[in-house]
Structure 1
Amino acid sequence: MNLDQFQKELVAYASEIGIDKIGFASAEPFYNLKHQLIRQQQLNYQSGFEEPDVEKRTRPELLLNEAVSIIAIAIAYPSKMKDAPQGVRGARRGIFSRSSWGRDYHAALKERLTLLEAFIAAHYPEARMRSMVDTGELSDRAVAERAGIGWSAKNTNIITPEFGSYVYLGEMITNIPFQPDEPMEDQCGDCRLCIDTCPTGAIVEGGQLNAQRCISFLTQTKGFLPDEFRDKIGNRLYGCDTCQTVCPKNKRKANRIHPEFEPDPEIAKPLLEPLLKISNREFKGKFGYVSGSWRGKKPIQRNAILALAHFKEADAVPALIDLLQSDERPVIRGTAAWALGKIGTIEGLESLREVEKTEKDEEVQEEIQKGLAFFAEGLKG
């Protein structure tokens, strides 16, 4: 079969199996990206979740011998939620980012890439392929940009004309010499809304992100959240969408295309207090199918405590006192101590003073002192 004709058939097949965009790129090294990654490491701007080997991230031939082309795919996910529940006093709610509203995208994209591999192999038995989604060595965004899926925006997301930046990305390296697509021109212009509205100033400049300050990253860490970010996390349980929701290119991009990504409102915007005591089994059963569960329940619970403090939810004080007194995990006990001080009830103050006498963990003691300091500041005021 003529390769050009097969490439067209492959594009048509991709659409049939639920791939919203497909593009083709050369497997040449990503020289510009290499310089950017080295600079990121020098500035300590990387998250630590990435592949640490810059060569593997920028040289596809190290991942597949005889690599010639890369196929990039994109699948749109929804930005709007039907019947979104509203939190009220006594029943506050948290929020998962839009990328974690429906079925875990890693599985969804891998299924489609597996189907693409089978389709290619049926026509080209000599084809060699390696697919990856998110956790692979390559930069999904760099591949998507080169393959013409969209342009790399100032917030470092890929923006597509059709779906905005609400797209999941994946790619396949292959030895088949597909005709490459043309990259898109940058269409951000002079707009800098994403830079100016980032809650933590994580977007240092257009195209450069300090992941260590990014709320999306911070919500996935397992330790104590640094003090400077605790008031900025709001009610976010996983991820952050601010730089996407303010983007003019995302206006009217509802993307209600794939039922598997439609959110269950009680999962995407869950009640906070029940999360504090959820068991591992319950957490896996309720949240295990969404991508935001990948780090387990501990970061979600810590973030739920911070969200209750954000709301100054006095009704949650008994539950927070219970965590402070009996939870085995220092991060949860300490964060609860901080939250009790932030909420500021007499009941919370008494519990902090009582636990202060017996708490052995130094970090938890520090958090207790922070909680008590809130009360002292309140008396001064």
Structure 2
Amino acid sequence: MNIEQLKKEVIEYSKQIGIDKIGFTTADMFEELKQRLVTQQELGYQSGFEESDIEKRVNPIKLLPKASSIISIALAYPSKMKNAPRSTKEDRRGIFCRASWGKDYHDVLRDRLTKLEAFIKEKLPEAQMKSMVDTGELSDRAVAERAGIGWSGKNCSIITPEFGSYVYLGEMITNIPFPPDQPIENQCGSCTKCLDICPTGALVQGGQLDSTKCIAFLTQTKGFLPEQYRTKIGNRIYGCDTCQTICPINKGKDFHFHEEMEPDPEIAKPKLKPLLTISNREFKEKFGHISGSWRGKKPLQRNAILALAHYKDKTALEDLVQVMHKDPRPVIRGTAAWAIGKIGDITMEPELRKALEKEQDDEVKQEIEKGLSFLAEKAGI
């Protein structure tokens, strides 16, 4: 079969099934990426969520022995929420990052890739294919960059000329030798806005991220959040968009092409207080379909407590006291105690002292002590 013609047909079909951009590249080794990953590993900049075997991340033949090319796809997601609810003094709200609005993007992209595989198989029954989204071995960004989807920005996102960096990425390795597309020239120029604004300094330099400092990563951890980052979280429940929203290329970019990506405002910007006591069943029913739920409710509840502290929300004190006294999880009890202190109502001192008397966990005790020291500072003691 004429591979050039098949490529044209694949591109045409991709548009019909709601793929916003498609690119093709070779299955050659990602040599430059290998060096970067080794450096990241040596510096301790990895999050721990990625594939640990670097060879699998950079060598497509390790994943599909007869690999000849890779198809990269991108789907644009919305950057603005219609009818976004406002946070009020009585009902403060948190926020999920844009990549967690709507249906879990892993499911959305897998659906498109499965359809693409079926189309290619129909045209070429002997075709071999292996598709992946985000959690696969390959680096979605490295593939997309080489396939001409966009360039790798200083904020470590793929930036497309059409949709900015508000795109989900996925790829398919295949034994079909599709002619490769040309990469796009990097257009970041001398701009450093994303580096300058990063709340935790996680963007070490253009294109290099210390994942362990990145708020997007920190919001997904399950333990106590390191003290120096707690006041940086703001009202973020999951993820962080700061290095995207500041990007000049993203200005005015807002696409609503896919119904399943549209956010439910009450889920994407949830009220914080109800999150503190939500049951597992309620959590699964309300948040189970979004990508931000993958780590379970505990990290999101911890982040909601930090957000209430950020707002200094005195209307939440009763809820926080209940959580501090009754929640079985040390991280949640301790974070609640810290937040009570941060909110700074000195009438809460007896509650903190009562919690300290009965607390058995040493880490939680330390957090209660911190809460008490905040109140003492407030009282000028």
Q: Is the 8 Å Cα contact of residues 324 and 334 (structure 1) preserved in structure 2?
A: yes
* Pairwise CA distance, 1:6: 1.0
Q: Is the 8 Å Cα contact of residues 145 and 151 (structure 1) preserved in structure 2?
A: yes
Partners of 1:108 and 1:331 lie apart in 2 by 33
* Pairwise CA distance, 1:346: 3.0
Q: Does 1:323 align with 2:323?
A: yes
Partners of 1:254 and 1:116 lie apart in 2 by 26
Match of 1:276 in 2: 276
Partners of 1:309 and 1:335 lie apart in 2 by 10
Q: Is the 8 Å Cα contact of residues 346 and 375 (structure 2) preserved in structure 1?
A: no
Q: Does 1:332 align with 2:329?
A: no
Q: Is the 8 Å Cα contact of residues 57 and 138 (structure 2) preserved in structure 1?
A: yes
Q: Is the 8 Å Cα contact of residues 340 and 349 (structure 1) preserved in structure 2?
A: no
Match of 1:109 in 2: 109
Match of 2:314 in 1: 314
After superposing the two structures, state which structure 1 stretch, 255-264 or 29-38, moved more. Answer: 255-264
What's the secondary structure of 2:15's corresponding residue? helix
Q: Is the 8 Å Cα contact of residues 151 and 187 (structure 1) preserved in structure 2?
A: yes
Q: Is the 8 Å Cα contact of residues 276 and 305 (structure 2) preserved in structure 1?
A: yes
The CA deviation string for residues 312-332 of structure 1, in whole angstroms up to 9 with x for no partner, is 000000000000000000000
What's the secondary structure of 2:194's corresponding residue? helix
* Pairwise CA distance, 1:350: 1.5
Letter in 2 for 1:322: Q
* Pairwise CA distance, 1:217: 0.3
* Pairwise CA distance, 1:251: 0.6
Match of 2:360 in 1: 360
Letter in 2 for 1:188: C
Q: Does 1:92 align with 2:54?
A: no
Partners of 1:153 and 1:122 lie apart in 2 by 37
What's the secondary structure of 1:357's corresponding residue? helix
Q: Kindly, what percent of the aligned residue pairs are identical?
A: 66
The CA deviation string for residues 199-225 of structure 1, in whole angstroms up to 9 with x for no partner, is 000000000000000000000000000
Matches within 5 A, 1:132-147: 132-147=132-147
Match of 2:121 in 1: 121
Partners of 2:141 and 2:336 lie apart in 1 by 38
Letter in 2 for 1:203: L
Q: Does 1:82 align with 2:82?
A: yes
5+ unaligned residues in a row in structure 2: which ranges?
none
* Pairwise CA distance, 1:2: 1.5
Partners of 1:31 and 1:370 lie apart in 2 by 48
Partners of 1:305 and 1:271 lie apart in 2 by 11
* Pairwise CA distance, 1:344: 1.3
Q: Does 1:173 align with 2:154?
A: no
Partners of 1:349 and 1:120 lie apart in 2 by 67
Match of 1:370 in 2: 370
Partners of 2:110 and 2:274 lie apart in 1 by 33
Q: Hey, which bits of structure 1, 4+ residues long, moved more than 3 A?
A: none
Letter in 2 for 1:136: G
Partners of 2:335 and 2:65 lie apart in 1 by 49
Q: What RMSD, in angstroms, separates the aligned Cα atoms of the two structures?
A: 0.7
Partners of 1:377 and 1:321 lie apart in 2 by 20
Partners of 1:87 and 1:98 lie apart in 2 by 18
Letter in 2 for 1:67: A
Letter in 1 for 2:143: V
Q: Is the 8 Å Cα contact of residues 77 and 255 (structure 1) preserved in structure 2?
A: yes
Match of 2:342 in 1: 342
Match of 1:290 in 2: 290
What's the secondary structure of 1:332's corresponding residue? helix
Letter in 2 for 1:193: K
The CA deviation string for residues 98-126 of structure 1, in whole angstroms up to 9 with x for no partner, is 00111100000001100010011111111
* Pairwise CA distance, 1:280: 0.4
Partners of 1:170 and 1:203 lie apart in 2 by 24
What's the secondary structure of 1:163's corresponding residue? coil
* Pairwise CA distance, 1:380: 2.8
Letter in 1 for 2:222: K
* Pairwise CA distance, 1:240: 0.2
The CA deviation string for residues 356-375 of structure 1, in whole angstroms up to 9 with x for no partner, is 11100000001001111101
The CA deviation string for residues 22-59 of structure 1, in whole angstroms up to 9 with x for no partner, is 00000000000000000000000000000000000000
Partners of 1:330 and 1:281 lie apart in 2 by 21
Match of 1:234 in 2: 234
The CA deviation string for residues 161-208 of structure 1, in whole angstroms up to 9 with x for no partner, is 100000000000000000000000000000000000000000000000
Partners of 1:88 and 1:350 lie apart in 2 by 28
Letter in 2 for 1:173: I
* Pairwise CA distance, 1:245: 0.2
What's the secondary structure of 1:112's corresponding residue? helix
Match of 1:67 in 2: 67
Letter in 2 for 1:102: G
Q: Does 1:263 align with 2:288?
A: no
Q: Is the 8 Å Cα contact of residues 308 and 339 (structure 1) preserved in structure 2?
A: yes
* Pairwise CA distance, 1:348: 2.2
Partners of 2:360 and 2:70 lie apart in 1 by 55
Q: Is the 8 Å Cα contact of residues 194 and 246 (structure 2) preserved in structure 1?
A: yes
Match of 1:33 in 2: 33
Match of 2:303 in 1: 303
Q: Does 1:254 align with 2:254?
A: yes
Count how many residue pairs are aligned between Structure 1 and Structure 2: 381
After superposing the two structures, state which structure 1 stretch, 342-351 or 110-119, moved more. Answer: 342-351
Match of 2:199 in 1: 199
Partners of 2:227 and 2:102 lie apart in 1 by 31
Q: Does 1:11 align with 2:17?
A: no
